[in-house]
Amino acid sequence: MGWDAFGLPAEQYAIQTGTHPSITTKNNCDTFRRQIKELGLSYDWDREINTTDPNYYKWTQSIFIKLYNTWFDDQLQKGRPVSELKIPEDILKSGKAGVRKYIDSKRLAYYDDAQVWWCSNCRIVCANEEVLTDGSHEKCGNIVEKKNLKQWLLRIPLYAERLLKGIDDLDWPEGIKDMQRNWIGRSSGAEVDFNLYGLEEKLTVFTTRPDTLFGATYMVIAPEHNLLDKITTPEASRSVMDYIKSASLKSDLDRTDLSKEKTGVFTGRYAINPVNLKKIPVWIADYVLTGYGTGAIMAVPAHDTRDFEFAEKFNLPIVCIQDPDVTDADQKKRIIAGKECWTEDGKYINSSDKQTGIDINGLNKETGISEITSWLESKGIGKAKINYKIRDWLFSRQRYWGEPFPVIHWDDGEITLVDEKELPLQLPELEKYLPGETGESPLSNATDWLSVKDSSGRTGRRETNTMPQWAGSCWYYLRFIDPKNDNQIFSPEKEKYWMPVDLYIGGAEHAVLHLLYSRFWHKVLFDLGIVSTDEPYKRLFNQGMILAFAYETETGAKVASDLVEERDGKFYHKETRDELRQIVAKMSKTLKNVVNPDDVTSKYGADSLRLYEMFMGPLDVTKPWDDKGVKGVFGFLSRAFRFISNPENILPGSEEDREILKGLHQTIKKIQSDIENLRFNTAISAMMIFLNLIIKKGKITLTTAETFVKVLSPFAPHLSEELWLILGNCSTIAYEPWPSVNEEYLKEDVFEYPVSFNGKMRFKIELPVNMDKNEIISIILSDERTKRWLGDKEPSNIIVVPNRIVNIVIK
């Protein structure tokens, strides 16, 4: 069992109460541990880990040091130690500072300015997902702002191709694999340089369709583009600055919403289209982001819906360059005239220029892309390029409760790392946990801890950012291998024995964060020879989420469960008396619909809770919690206990009823298969069916009783242990072998034949499985139903396939 306990909740509680986050974390972990043990979950507690334990996070810090000291070799497609990096001659001649800058540009972990969402109220950096469409922070409602802060980042895009290829061989749900593929976002195309009229700089775009350059009639750059100040003319400066300010208040999600009204401002500058040398205007618009490609696009409005809408709104040229394959003559005229957008492919038109010497008219898409790309490369104004949507991983947080970076920033500008022998670098004690107003974490207040001096008297500061909650969880599965090892992160021999993880069960919400980050770290460790496998998790299974009933008014306003009462199957607000709708929603403190396992176990017992969670439905399906269902499985366990614990129901002999033996071995086989395939709900159904059978029969042998208790024990271990003792056993049932299936008892004595007349099934009849063909024919012909279907006719042929079908052919 592992506790991934770093993160914001404990820190927020510390800010509110002054309680140290470690105390909050410990109390929570103690509660979870107690509940898990009460439920009888079989964890090896000798392998318990906690990501907030310095003895654990010293190895997290050690991995960060390895990331910092690793570079990615593009040719070998693998990470290598920085010590193996060959420094170019011209860099060596530039001096120590130049060499340091070059090496830093290659490291997998690097320190740089990063534009982030900053909430001045909470004094934290917000993820894109935490910023609402109105620009407010979802936690507090305060309007956030874009801010440049010094951050640690990891160059995960360098591993994009390997992360992408590795997905194919994983036994994971296809939906999760697709989510990772989409997050990585591989696209092939070309980078194209556009000269800027009146400037020496060039504007570079990435496009998947370089073949459509003849249709590029304007360009758009992001409000954050690094050339924006130079591109903007003095006449357009005021309107551009106002637009930048308004764009800074929008989230990335809002900016890229296809349904929203298009906005933008002309920069006053023109670029030169390289294929026809025409001047095209450069606009600024918020739907272009710096996080993908180059932060600039070439707009082809005739063949892109978003560009078409933008061009129509701002009266920009629209040039059709693909012959539309439509039968409607009027529609074709509209498309060619630029009055309607055509997003399908077609043979190129209007795609040649004598001055530049390029002509792709009449070609198809594949040939057109190849021709244009080759031409761009020959002219030195473009090149084929693979682009990835995945961005560098922002790996630092302005919080106290996280792993400290083992980093020192010296006053002379050099960055060094703490020697691994000095790890762990522990968090200092603080009186206040509130982040600083400038964006620094609470660690900036730890003056004694913060300031350092080396042996030569040089002074510096420790890094005040801390690692994100993902850091410790990126590799925890490896620490389970050897959790008590103080000298190594784990034993190489044990790692080779245990890895990769055979089965990982986790929620789909981890698809593109934890699981992708974890795969990235593992591949780096593999490249450095620390782990023996390229992938960490062989098989992945996503469990569904357990929801709870909640209530809302006609207008959709949510109502806390303690304000709801049920009358005659309907639900009403206790105060307003209004009728409410019962819905299914996530458990939350606000809705007061959280199910506390302590309440369930005190009323129904731990086994009922275990059994109900497994019986609710397929493991991978999201389903609502219902107390009535708990009562149902409680009833099943009560019936099982009453029947088996009653000595009057247990026969002294060894001769068991044939039907019971058949049912028992069917149950064993079914449960064994269902456990292996994680179909726990149908395994429990099989036990319920068997219990009904033996109660109906009234008595069973001791051997049958013991066997049934064995198959019940993984699901209800506490009740099974008690029954095992009642049946006369002295040792625990936990170490008893799983009962074997006797296939003899599963053989059917009879078979239900479908009887057909001229191929149409008319009735069924049960006959012994070993009956002779002639006997089968004789019995069927004498059956009254056969006589009714034959009437006064005689069968011309009777086909019998033993234990399959009978077909009577009538002329």
Q: What is the mean pLDDT of each run of 10 residues along the chain (811 residues)?
A: 57 61 80 90 91 94 97 94 93 89 95 84 71 73 82 94 96 94 93 95 94 96 92 94 85 68 92 96 91 88 93 95 90 92 90 93 92 95 93 87 94 93 93 75 88 92 92 95 95 97 88 90 97 96 89 85 90 91 84 87 95 92 88 96 96 88 95 95 95 95 96 97 96 95 84 93 90 91 90 91 93 80
Let me know how long the chain is: 811
Q: How far apart are CA 213 and CA 381, in angstroms?
A: 13
255 in Cβ contact with 295 (< 8 Å): no
pLDDT for 470 equals 87
**In 3-state terms, what secondary structure has residue 581?**
strand
Q: Of 721, 686, 689, 684, give the one whose Cα is nearest residue 706.
A: 721
Cβ burial of 509 (10 Å; 0-12, 13-18, 19+) is: exposed
pLDDT for 584 equals 86
Q: Of 253, 294, 7, 243, give the one whose Cα is nearest residue 132.
A: 253
616 in Cβ contact with 623 (< 8 Å): yes
pLDDT for 258 equals 61
Q: How far apart are CA 580 and CA 558, in angstroms?
A: 9
State the amino acid at position 223 in one-letter form. Answer: P
Q: Of 384, 193, 379, 428, give the one whose Cα is nearest residue 294.
A: 193
Q: How far apart are CA 410 and CA 451, in angstroms?
A: 10
pLDDT for 797 equals 93
Q: How far apart are CA 361 and CA 336, in angstroms?
A: 15
Note the pTM of the prediction, 2 decimals.
0.83
What CATH number matches the domain at 628-745, 1.10.3210.10, 3.30.450.20, 3.40.50.300, 1.10.730.10?
A: 1.10.730.10
Residues of the chain with CATH 3.10.20.590: 750-810
pLDDT for 4 equals 59
Residue 721: how many CB atoms within 10 A of its CB? 18
Residue 462's DSSP bridge partners are: 408
Helix (H) or strand (E) holding 707: helix 702-712
CATH code that applies to domain 750-810: 3.10.20.590
Exposure string over 391-420, b if 16+ CB within 10 A, otherwise e: bbbbbbbbbbbbbbbbbbbeeeeeeebbee
| Cβ partners under 8 Å of residue 257, min gap 6 | 133
Give the end-to-end CA distance of the chain in Å, rounded to a whole number: 73
Q: Could you tell me where the beta strands, DSSP code E, fall in 500-578? A: 504-506, 540-542, 546-552, 558-559, 564-567, 570-573
Backbone phi, then psi, for 407, in 5-degree steps?
-130, 140
Helix (H) or strand (E) holding 25: helix 21-38
Q: What angle do CA 178, 397, 108 make, to 5 degrees?
A: 60
CATH architecture under which domain 187-387 falls: Alpha-Beta Complex (3.90)
C-alpha distances in angstroms, 385 versus 164, 186, 190, 370, 417?
17, 11, 5, 12, 35
As given in the structure block, the two tokens for residue 735 are: 């170490």
Q: How far apart are CA 322 and CA 304, in angstroms?
A: 12
Residues of the chain with CATH 1.10.730.10: 628-745
Place of tokens 């792709």: 360
Helix (H) or strand (E) holding 329: helix 329-336
Q: Is 239 left (phi over 0), alpha (psi -120 to 50) or beta?
A: alpha
567 in Cβ contact with 560 (< 8 Å): no
Backbone phi, then psi, for 550, in 5-degree steps?
-140, 175
**In 3-state terms, what secondary structure has residue 258?**
coil
Residues of the chain with CATH 3.90.740.10: 187-387
pLDDT for 665 equals 95
